[in-house]
Structure 1
Amino acid sequence: MRILVVADPLAGFKIHKDSTYAMLREAAARGHALFTCEAHELSVRDGVVLAQAHALTLTATQEYKHWFASAEGQAQALRDFDAVIMRTDPPFDQQYYYATQLFTLAEMQGAKVFNSGRALRDFNEKLAILRFAEFIAPTLVSQDMVQLRDFVREQGDVIVKPLDGMGGMGIFRITPTDPNLGSILETLSDNGRRTIMAQRYLPAIIDGDKRVLLIDGKPVDWCLARIPQQGETRGNLAAGGSGVARPLSARDREIAEALGPQLAAQGLLLVGLDIIGEHLTEVNVTSPTCFQEITAQSGINVAGLFIDALERRCA
C-alpha cells in the first residue's frame, strides 16, 4: 500500500514513546510505501485535494533526528494513496478544522482517510462523552457562571476543564470553599464567554486515568493506567503521570464494547477512551497515543493491530 501520514514535524518526534512512529515502523516492516506531510502542506488545485507528499525512508538507527530520511515533497492527490492517516496533535483549532474539511472533500473524490474528516469534526474529545451518558459521572457543560457555581456547590468536589485542551492543560480541581473558585471559573470561561466542562471529581484517579484503545471498534486487551504523581490531580503523561499497563477490567471492557461498534461506524478507526474508575471521561479521536507503553509492558503489538485494521479497511 501507499500510505500518507499527515503529522507534526518528524524531527520533533519522541520516538521512544511516539505512537505515530510505532505505526510507521510497523508499516515499513510490512513493505508499505510511506509518505508524510504536515497539515499546512494540504491544498486544493482545480478542485482536487493535494498533499505536498514527502517519500519517507526509515533508517536502521533509532537515534533522535536520524531515524528517517525524507525526500523533497511532490504534489500528489490524496485519492492516489491507498490510505491517509491523520496524526496531527491537538489543539483542534481553526487550521485543524480546515484540514478536516479538505479530508472530507478528498473522501468524496475517493480517498480513504483515517480518522475521517467528518468524524474528527463531530467528535469533540470532551463533548463526545455526552453521547454515552449512562457511562459518565455528573457533568455540566456551560459558560454561565451561575450554573457553574451551582454545580460546584451541588457536587462538592469538581474538575473543570476547557473543551479544546490536551495533555492535562487547563484542568483544575475546585471545591465550593476554594478561595480561587471565582478566578478559576472566570479564567477558564473567559468571564462567561467560553463554554467549559465541569465534572464531579472521581477519587479513583489515584489508581490511574486509564487509556483504553479501540481499533476498528474492538478494544485492545490491555490499557495504560496513567497514575498522577504525588500532589497532582492529573494523570496525563504530559503532566508527569506514570504509565502502568493493565488488563482491561470488566467495566473497562463493558464501556469499550458498548462504544466500539458505534464509533467505528462513524468513521473512527482509532479511538482512545479515557476511563477513571467506573466512568468514561473522554473520547480521544485526533491522535490517540500509548501504543508503545502498552506494547512494552504487555507484549501486545498494538501498532500491528492498527496496521492489520488499516489493511483490512483498504483491501
Structure 2
Amino acid sequence: MSLRVAFQMDPIEGIAIGGDSSFALMIEAQARGHQIWHYLAEDLTLDRDRLTAPARAIEHVQRVAGDHVRVGETRRLDLAQDVDVIWMRQDPPFDLGYITATHLLERIADKTLVVNDPVSVRNAPEKLYVLDFAQYMPPTMITRDLAELRRFHAEHGEVVVKPLHGNAGAAVFRIDASGSNMGALAELFGKVWREPFMVQAFLPEVAQGDKRIVLVDGEVAGAINRLPGKGEIRSNLAAGGSAHKTGLTETEQRICAELGPELKRRGLLFVGIDVIGGQWLTEINVTSPTGIVAIDGFNDSNIPGMIWDAVEARLAALG
C-alpha cells in the first residue's frame, strides 16, 4: 500500500547520510512507493482544531553525497487529513519546544499515526523512563544538591555527571576519586540547566563498550557495541565512538524481554536502549534513536524494512 508520509525532523540538507536513521527510513519508504514530505517541528501551526505545516515534497532520496535529496513543491499539509504517518524525528534537546510539539501532535493522533507516540515520548524522557527499570541500572541519583552529590561520590568513589535531557554524549563528565572540581561542575550545571542533573556510579566496563540495542515494536532487531575513542569515556558515535559487531548477553536478553511488551503497549515502535558491561541499562532512547545503519552493515539486515513492516501493521490494525 502506498502511504503519505511526513517526516518532522531537522533540516534534511545537513544530515549525515552515511549513518542517519531518518534518511534510512526515507530510503525504505521510497522503495515501497510511499509519498514523502518534510517539515520542521517549529513549522507546526494549530488553528482551532486544525494542525498544519508547510511541507516540502521529497521527490528523490539517494545515497549520493551532495545530491542526497531532491525537493519538489511546498504545500501546507493538514496533518490530520493529508498524511497517513508522521515520523517525529527531530533531534533533542528535550526542551519545552520538543514537549510542545508532542502536545500539538497528540491532538491528531487519533486520525494520523505518529511514530513514536507523542504522549509516550513526552512521558518517557530517555534518562527518566529508564528509572522504571532500576533493577538493571547502576547506582543512580537525580539532584541539584551539591551536598547530595558529595555524599553519593563518597559512597561510590568515581561518578559520571550528565544533563538530564542531553543527547549524543554532550556534557558528560567523569569525576574521579579525588572529587576535584565537583563544586564547580555542579555550579555550572545549575547555571546552564534549570532541571536537576543525573549522577551515576562510574562503570569501568565502559572501556569495553556501550551497547546500543534497537527494538522494533517491542522486538529486538539488532545491536552494535560502541567503543569510546582514545582518552574518552563516551561511546556515542556522535562523540567519536566506533561501532563493532556484537550479540546479546543473557542479561541483555532478559532486559529486552521485560521492556518489549511495555514499549509496544506505549506505542514506542522504534527504540534504542543503551547497556554497559552486558548488564547495566543506562538509557531508553525514544525521541530520535539511531544506530540502525551500523547494525545493518554488520548483520546484512534491513531494520528500516522491519520498522516499516511494523508501521504498516499498525495502520492495518487501526483500519
Q: Is the 8 A contact 1:4 1:37 kept in 2?
A: yes
Q: Which residue in the other structure is 1:258 paired with?
A: 258
The CA deviation at 1:99 is 0.7
The CA deviation at 1:267 is 1.9
Q: Which residue in the other structure is 1:14 paired with?
A: 16
Q: Which residue in the other structure is 1:45 paired with?
A: 47
CA deviation profile, 1:112-139 (whole Å, cap 9, x unmatched): 1011111111011111111111111111
Q: Is the 8 A contact 1:5 1:36 kept in 2?
A: yes
Amino acid corresponding to residue 6 of structure 1 in structure 2: Q
Normalising to structure 2: TM-score of the pair? 0.94
The CA deviation at 1:178 is 2.9
CA deviation profile, 1:63-89 (whole Å, cap 9, x unmatched): 223121112321122122111111100
Name structure 2 gaps, 5 residues minimum: none
Name structure 1 gaps, 5 residues minimum: none
Q: Which 4+ stretches in 1 moved above 2 angstroms? A: 61-65, 189-194
1:202 matches 2:203: yes
Whole-angstrom CA distance in 2 between matches of 1:197 and 1:190: 15
Whole-angstrom CA distance in 2 between matches of 1:135 and 1:247: 18
- Relative to 1, partners in 2 of residues 1:191 and 1:121: Cα closer, same or farther, differing over 3 Å? closer
CA deviation profile, 1:152-189 (whole Å, cap 9, x unmatched): 11011111111111111111111341321221122123
Q: Is the 8 A contact 1:157 1:173 kept in 2?
A: yes
The CA deviation at 1:192 is 9.8
- 2:33 is aligned, of 31, 34, 47, to 31
Q: CA RMSD in A?
A: 1.5
Whole-angstrom CA distance in 2 between matches of 1:271 and 1:163: 18
Whole-angstrom CA distance in 2 between matches of 1:54 and 1:13: 16
Q: Which residue in the other structure is 1:184 paired with?
A: 185
Whole-angstrom CA distance in 2 between matches of 1:191 and 1:286: 22
| Matched ranges for 1:129-278 at <5 A | 129-190=130-191, 194-220=195-221, 222-277=222-277, 278=279
Normalising to structure 1: TM-score of the pair? 0.95
Whole-angstrom CA distance in 1 between matches of 2:196 and 2:181: 19
Q: Is the 8 A contact 1:186 1:192 kept in 2?
A: no
Amino acid corresponding to residue 308 of structure 1 in structure 2: D
Amino acid corresponding to residue 100 of structure 1 in structure 2: T
Whole-angstrom CA distance in 2 between matches of 1:191 and 1:11: 30
3-state secondary structure, aligned to 2:191: coil
The CA deviation at 1:307 is 0.8
Whole-angstrom CA distance in 2 between matches of 1:112 and 1:232: 40
CA deviation profile, 1:210-263 (whole Å, cap 9, x unmatched): 11111101111x311110012211111111110112122222211111101101
3-state secondary structure, aligned to 2:271: strand
Amino acid corresponding to residue 229 of structure 1 in structure 2: G
| Matched ranges for 1:58-69 at <5 A | 58-59=60-61, 61-69=62-70
